[in-house]
Amino acid sequence: MRESRFQVKVTDFGLTRKVGSAVRYLEYVNHYHAPELCETVVNETLIVDRSIDVWSIGILIYYCLKGRFPWQKATIMCKPYWEWEQWLKRKNLQLPKRWDSFSEKSLKLFRRTLEPRYKDRWGVKNISKCLTKEKLLKASKVTEEV
């Protein structure tokens, strides 16, 4: 993203692949991998799409705001991810606890970047618009320690 106020460059030379290239099953899955990468099986290939980067941007934004990852990996075997997916599908109307500190506007950003269905994720332009005009965390009381 390039704006007059900020520039963000995200790189990962260890896992970078060209859009449209095929990726085989990954033995190692990290926090940034989208569900479609986490769910590949041996001998299966996945065609790389920009939506994989959008997912990673959502994870990166979460980490920058909270200082930790939302989950270990994006599979239903990981409880925090499963809770997020259930909330997105409206199978559980209660927002998972780890998301309570986020404003409605930031939850909108996360719903559109951390969307399990890759075709439904936002593009980078939508993310840029959202980041330039919205407050992402709820206001909280500042306590002064003595």
pLDDT of residue 146 exceeding 50, the answer is no
In this predicted structure, which of 71-75, 83-87, 137-141 has the lowest mean pLDDT? 137-141
pLDDT reported for residue 12 = 66
- Residues of the chain above pLDDT 70, percent: 81
| Helix axes of 104-113 and 50-66: crossing angle, nearest 10 degrees | 150
pLDDT value for 112: 96
> What is the pTM assigned to this prediction?
0.80
3-state helix, strand, coil in the chain (%, to 5): 40, 5, 55
The more confident residue out of 57 and 138 is 57
- Could you give the count of Cα atoms lying within 13 Å of 13 in the half-sphere of its Cβ? 0
Q: Residue 136: its pLDDT value, please?
A: 66
CA 93 to chain CA centroid, nearest Å: 20
Helix 104-113 vs helix 124-133: crossing angle, to nearest 10: 170
CA dihedral 74, 77, 65, 120 (to 10 degrees): 40
Secondary element (H or E) of residue 41: none
Kindly report, residue by residue over 22-79, the tens digit of the pLDDT: 888 776 778 888 999 888 888 888 888 889 989 999 999 999 889 999 999 999 999 9
Helices 50-66 and 124-133, packing angle to 10 deg: 20
The answer to whether residues 114 and 45 touch, using CB atoms and an 8 Å cutoff, is no
CATH of domain 22-133: 1.10.510.10
